[in-house]
Amino acid sequence: MRCRESNEAEAMIDMAPLIDIVFILLIFFMVTTTFVKDMKLELERPKASSSTAASSKAIRLFIDRHGDTYLDGEPVRLWLIQSKLRDLLSTASSKVILVVTDEGVPAGKLIEVIDQARLSGAESVGVATKKEAG
């Protein structure tokens, strides 16, 4: 009697396509994730007992204690706010603007910035505050 030798090859699983798919998924989630980026300004926000959480998709406009305004981390003059915001709002999914200001900013400066934000076509404009303890 002759012994029959097994000519069958062992089944192998190719891991290369699996690794490719994992990397593609990783890149997809990294690209589609939105990050809230706050500027590194030292701001003492005003306190309000009626504060609520702001949308993470809101466009943030900053006013520092000297009255300088910033949009996307870059200084912007008051007369340019409206046009720059209009450009951002045309491509943004959320038409909400959040003004983050220092507590010491004069009310007149804050009103001018909010007015420019409203004139740019925003659906709503809010002012960031700190929840008052109590």
Q: State the average pLDDT over residues 92-98.
A: 84
Distance CA 72, CA 70 (A): 7
Burial class (CB in 10 A: 0-12, 13-18, 19+), 132: exposed
Average per-residue pLDDT in the chain? 78
Cβ neighbours of 43 (radius 10 Å): 20
Confidence at residue 46, expressed as pLDDT on a 0 to 100 scale:
61
| Model confidence pTM above 0.75 | no
